[in-house]
Amino acid sequence: MVAGPGGGDESAWCPPSRMVLPPSRVSLLLLLHLLLVVSASPGAAELTDGNSEHLKREHSLIKPYQGVGSSSMPLWDFQGSTMLTSQYVRLTPDERSKEGSIWNRVPCFLKDWELHVQFKIHGAGKKNLHGDGFALWYTRERLTPGPVFGSKDNFHGLAVFLDTYPNDEATERVFPYISAMVNNGSLMYDHSKDGRWTELAGCTADLRNQNHDTFLAVRYSRGRLTVMTDVEDKNEWKNCFDVSGVRLPTGYFFGASAGTGDLSDNHDIISMKLFQLMVEHPPEEENIDWTKIEPSVSLLKSPKDNVDDPTGNFRSGPLTGWKVFLLLLCALLGIIVCAVVGAVVFQKRQERNKRFY
């Protein structure tokens, strides 16, 4: 007789390809495989610490604010009530009916980028006696004043709003509230509803009258928009929202604007730092003219059809990577449970049938 791999009798050794595993072991192997897939799957987008990625100075606003306004080589323009100091750029003072903005003069042709903004919103108003908020922009239009936090409505591109006053008295949201909107020029921002009908996603953030530094990060990479905050003095990013299916063109401009009405606040920008993300794109995207892309979002339904959620998110929002993963995970777990139950039932029937022979 020929000895098998374990030194035993070949007649007693079965090659691995012909081994028949019991149902319980099969389900265990499937579960282990599933865990490996889970550990290998990408999680939520992690924002850069600002050191490992490339800072684009032509799109960044950093102390001592060289290249702003009337310098010999201006990179930034400002208008309205905006005031430039050595420590901050004040978009509006704590006064009624003020509008101000600051805009980069250089169009951005990066496909993947990340914007870090250090800001401060503060004023004498207490409770709800303050407003209105400010907005960060990546749009085709620039230096155009208007009713949307000091800038124009029906814009083309992306806006991230930091809204500090609830105009809708029936809302259950907690303010200040951060939200995002993607527009191709056809949508209007509804102040009376705090932009709820055109909102892509949002979250609550306690960012006003803080005694420590407050930050916001906006990341756009391969159709994925991620917004995170650092407003709790913990020196760590906290997720606000993460949405896939966002399409933004290149060649637009970065900016910030703010507005006050009957209520007011100081809206200060301390820095805006833009980083280029080194991301590989599939070969089929090489021939795309990214400047001709229409700003859009792939949603399951129109934002107007969504049901408002007091927690800050739409219940029927887009299927992000994590939602798809959770659906697949539930489906796989269901298949494993059905397989195990079916195998046990089949085995018991086989044993019962043997008793009749």
Tell me if 318 sits within 8 A of 300, measured CB to CB: yes
Q: Does residue 31 surpass a pLDDT of 90?
A: no
- In this structure, are residues 180 and 201 in contact, taking their beta carbons and an 8 Å threshold? yes
Tokens of 116: 């870090």
For the stretch 50-70, pLDDT in tens is 554 599 999 999 999 987 876
Would you state the pLDDT for residue 172? 87
Q: Is the pLDDT of residue 124 over 50?
A: yes
Query: SS3 for 321?
Result: helix
Q: Read off the pLDDT band of 194 (50, 70, 90).
A: very high
Q: What is the DSSP annotation of 84-111?
A: E-SS-EEEE-SSSS-EEEEEESSPB--S
Please give the pLDDT value at position 44.
42
Phi and psi based region of residue 267 (left: phi greater than 0; alpha: psi -120 to 50; beta: remaining): beta
Average pLDDT over residues 93-118: 97
Task: Name the residue with higher pLDDT: 351 or 234.
Answer: 234
For residues 334 and 24, which has the higher predicted lDDT (pLDDT)?
334
Please report which residue ranges of 199-240 form alpha helices under DSSP H: none
Residue 47: pLDDT band with limits 50, 70, 90: low
pLDDT exceeds cutoff 60 at 8:
no
Q: State how far the Cα of 158 lies from the Cα of 139, in Å rounded to an integer.
A: 6
- Each residue of 286-311: pLDDT tens digit? 899 999 999 999 974 444 444 444 33
pLDDT of residue 4: 39
| Residue 32 predicted with pLDDT over 60 | no
Phi, psi (deg, nearest 5) at residue 153: -90, 175
Look at the block and give the residue holding tokens 């909102």: 199
Q: Looking at residue 332, what is its pLDDT?
A: 86
Q: Are 219 and 226 in contact (CB under 8 A)?
A: yes
pLDDT surpasses 50 at 29 = no
Instruction: Identify each DSSP E strand in the chain by its residue range.
Output: 54-55, 76-80, 83-84, 89-92, 99-104, 113-122, 133-139, 156-163, 177-184, 201-204, 214-221, 224-230, 238-244, 246-247, 253-259, 266-276, 296-297
H-run or E-run covering 336: helix 321-354
Instruction: Say how many C-beta atoms besides its own lie within 10 A of residue 280's C-beta.
Output: 8
Tens of pLDDT, residues 125-142: 987 889 999 999 999 999
Q: What is the rounded average pLDDT of the residues 157-178?
A: 94
